[in-house]
Amino acid sequence: MLTVNQVSKNFGSFCALKGINLEFTNGVYGLLAPNGAGKTTLIKMLATLLFPSEGEILYKGESIIRMDERYRELLGYLPQEFGYYKNDSPKKYLLYISALKGLPASKAKRRVQELLKLVALEQVMNKKMKKFSGGMIQRVGIAQAMLNDPKILILDEPTAGLDPKERVRFRNLLTELARDRIVILSTHIVSDVESIANEIVMIKDSQVLYKDSIASICKVIEGWVYETEIDYDAASEFRKHYLSLSEKQEEGKLKIRFISKEAANPLWKAVSPSLEDVFLYIYQDEAAAQEVRG
C-alpha cells in the first residue's frame, strides 16, 4: 500500500498542495483536475522527483525517501513528455533504457521482447520512432516505465495527443496492467478515466476534494441534473439561472443539460449525473476564470 500522509508542497510562499491524505492499493486511480491544480506536483512527489514540504509518503509503512533506490526499483514512471531519439527504434531505445537501469543484457533482451508484445509494437520494433503516431510513442513510454515490472506505475497526462482509437487501446492496456499493481494516472480529460478508474481523486483549492468511486462521486449532484429544450433566444437568460453542462442544437431548439437545485419544472427531464457533470460543477469557477484570462 502507498500512503500519502498529511503532505503539503510549497513553492516559496505559494502553496501548491496542502494536507494531502491518500491511500493506494492495486487498481487504477485517476487523478482528475484542471491544469494547474497540482497533479504534476503530486505525481512528482510520488516519483521522488520532488520532496514534500511537510508530511511524508510511505510504501508499506516505510518512507519512500528513506527507501530511495529500493523504492525506485518498485516504481515505473511516465512523465508528461519523455525523451527519446526519433531515429531510434523502440527496441533499441528500450534496450538502452534497460542498460541505464542496470538490467543484465540477457534479461533485458527478454523483457524488451515481452513488453513490445504487451504494448502491441512487436511488428514495428525495428522501425524508427520518427514515423510513429502519438499513441505508438505513448506505448513505448509505457513499455519503458514497465521495464522493471513495477509495483507502482505512475503516468502523467498519458493520453495527451492520442486519437480516440488509441485512447481505447491505451485504457485497455492500463486495466490489464492494474490487475497486480497500483496504477495512478493524471488527466484533465474525464473520459480517460471514466471507464477504467477504480477510484477518482479530485483536487481543488490545493486539497483532496474527493477520493472515491465514480458512482459515489456522482451522488454529489444526484437529483440536480436535468435536460430540457429551450428556444435559442431564451438561452442566455437560462444560463444566468442554471449551470449549463452541455448544449446541443436539435430541430431548431437548444437541448440543454444543466444543474438546478430548485424544484423541478414539469418540462425538465431528470437524468443521472455523469462524472463529466460533476467535474463541470466542481470546477465551474475555474472554467469561468480561465475564460476571462483567455
Ligand X SMILES: Nc1ncnc2c1ncn2[C@@H]1O[C@H](COP(=O)(O)OP(=O)(O)OP(=O)(O)O)[C@@H](O)[C@H]1O
Query: Which stretches of the chain bind ligand X, using CB under 6 A?
Result: 11, 14, 16, 33, 35-41, 157
Q: In the bound complex, what is the minimum distance in angstroms from residue 80's beta carbon to ligand X?
A: 7
Can you state the angle between helices 164-177 and 134-145, rounded to 10 degrees?
Answer: 10
Q: In the bound complex, what is the minimum distance in angstroms from residue 45's beta carbon to ligand X?
A: 10
If the CB atoms of residues 9 and 171 are measured against ligand X, the closer one turns out to be 9
Nearest Cα to 91, choosing from 134, 120, 122? 122
If the CB atoms of residues 20 and 275 are measured against ligand X, the closer one turns out to be 20
> Residue type at 98?
S
If the CB atoms of residues 99 and 287 are measured against ligand X, the closer one turns out to be 287
If the CB atoms of residues 41 and 274 are measured against ligand X, the closer one turns out to be 41
Q: Alpha helices, DSSP H only, in 85-234?
A: 90-100, 105-118, 134-145, 164-177, 190-194, 214-218
Q: In the bound complex, what is the minimum distance in angstroms from residue 291's beta carbon to ligand X?
A: 17
Give the side-chain half-sphere CA count within 13 A for 236.
Answer: 1
Q: For residue 184, list its beta bridge partners.
A: 29, 154
Nearest Cα to 159, choosing from 31, 24, 23, 287? 31
If the CB atoms of residues 11 and 51 are measured against ligand X, the closer one turns out to be 11
Contact 115, 146 (CB under 8 A): yes
Q: In the bound complex, what is the minimum distance in angstroms from residue 36's beta carbon to ligand X?
A: 4
Q: Alpha helices, DSSP H only, in 119-163?
A: 134-145
Residues 6+ apart with CB under 8 A from 65: 48, 51, 56, 57
210's grid cell: 474527493
If the CB atoms of residues 89 and 206 are measured against ligand X, the closer one turns out to be 206
Q: For residue 8, list its beta bridge partners.
A: 54
Q: In the bound complex, what is the minimum distance in angstroms from residue 38's beta carbon to ligand X?
A: 4
If the CB atoms of residues 129 and 145 are measured against ligand X, the closer one turns out to be 145
Q: In the bound complex, what is the minimum distance in angstroms from residue 191's beta carbon to ligand X?
A: 16
DSSP string, 34-87: -TTSSHHHHHHHHTTSS--SEEEEEETTEEHHHHTHHHHTTEEEE-SS----TT
If the CB atoms of residues 41 and 148 are measured against ligand X, the closer one turns out to be 41
Q: In the bound complex, what is the minimum distance in angstroms from residue 63's beta carbon to ligand X?
A: 22
Q: In the bound complex, what is the minimum distance in angstroms from residue 158's beta carbon to ligand X?
A: 12
Whole-angstrom CA distances from 50 to 21, 148, 253 are: 17, 21, 51
